[in-house]
Amino acid sequence: MLDLVHAELQVLPSIAACPAYWRGICAWTQAALLVRAFQTIRVDPEQFTEGMESLHAAEAQIAEMLDLRQSPLSHPAETSRDSIRAEVLGRLLIIQQRQTKEGQSLPGSDVLVEALARQANDAPFLTQMPGPLELDRLPACRIETLSEEYDELKTDLRRRADELTSEIDDPNWLVFLHLARLFAFDDYILERITKLVPSTKLGANDDERRAALSHMGRVSYVALAQRNIALADTLLTHCFQAIGPWTNDHHASALVRIGYIATAASGQEDATKERFAKYLRNLAFLLPQGAPCRALCAELEVLKTFTPISEWHSYAEAEALCLLGC
């Protein structure tokens, strides 16, 4: 429900031009009102979710990608059930701590403590992740400046960085992907991740290639949250190496989306636009003719609806090249 409301607000003329955080606030508020209104109606959750997803406009997906330039801590998983539950628990914990300082007690504290313990065991630090009003910030804590009580965490992360491999199913990736929005990693960890990207296997069939591109998309969110241009550039370079005669329209769309995320890592609006335009131009040059070029053309058409006419020239070369390939 939240994703659908947010998608609608992304393209609503009266609010589309507002800052990303403001649309986020409106989406959460409207979604909460709708959920309350639907409380007396019984629906099949899976069928309802599929119906919601089918209503998402392509324009809204592009708008969400463009919002990453303003909200580096945004992530697709932030609206998952687990993340929303953790957000609620985290807010309740803040209220409890504030009342404790004032000598008051929060009703049901025992239940909250138990829920927080389960959450910490299932997904450590999820309750401390940035909330919907904090996505425009950068990770709150630097790993190397954490107090002594976090020495075990720092040792564990260093060990995991040493053990990390380029295999996309390496479970150590999940730890760094999870914590990238909360902690600013040290140079050692970021350099280790960056070094492994070029070794990522691109796969020998369609399923393996999609899995590899999906993994690279997740790693690009690390580059974005950490504001690490070296990692972003390495990812984009490896994206070009993933292109070949086997590249289809789904791969092309995935490559465009990785470009949206990784080029936003600089945090500078003008530099981001220039880097993204250059990436699209190179992508259009390398994509095989046919469906991949048509997919890129479709992405460009939607992108132009969110771009002032005075800036359309930035995409002219990419558009011309993919039209030749159609």
CA distance 25 to 287: 39
d(CA 92, CA 58): 36
pLDDT for residue 213 is more than 80: yes
Q: According to DSSP H, which parts of the chain are helical? A: 2-11, 20-37, 45-54, 58-67, 81-101, 109-122, 151-163, 172-179, 187-196, 206-226, 229-241, 249-263, 269-286, 291-304, 316-325
Report the pLDDT averaged over residues 112-132.
83
pLDDT in tens, 242-280: 999 999 999 999 999 999 999 999 989 899 999 999 999
> What is the DSSP track for 72-109?
TT--GGGGSHHHHHHHHHHHHHHHHHHHHHTT---TTH
pLDDT value, residue 1:
67
**Residue 226 identity (one-letter amino acid):** Q
Give percent of the chain with pLDDT exceeding 70. Answer: 97
- pLDDT tens digits, residue range 80-114? 778 888 888 888 888 888 888 888 887 888 888 88
Count of CB atoms within 10 A of residue 164's CB? Answer: 19
pLDDT tens string 22-73? 787 788 788 778 878 877 877 776 776 666 666 677 788 888 888 888 888 8
Question: At which residue do the structure tokens 């479709």 appear?
Answer: 298
- The answer to whether residues 272 and 233 touch, using CB atoms and an 8 Å cutoff, is no
Helix axes 81-101, 109-122, angle to 10 degrees: 130
Mean pLDDT to the nearest integer, 208-227: 95
CA 135 to chain centre: 11
Max Cα distance, the chain (Å)? 71
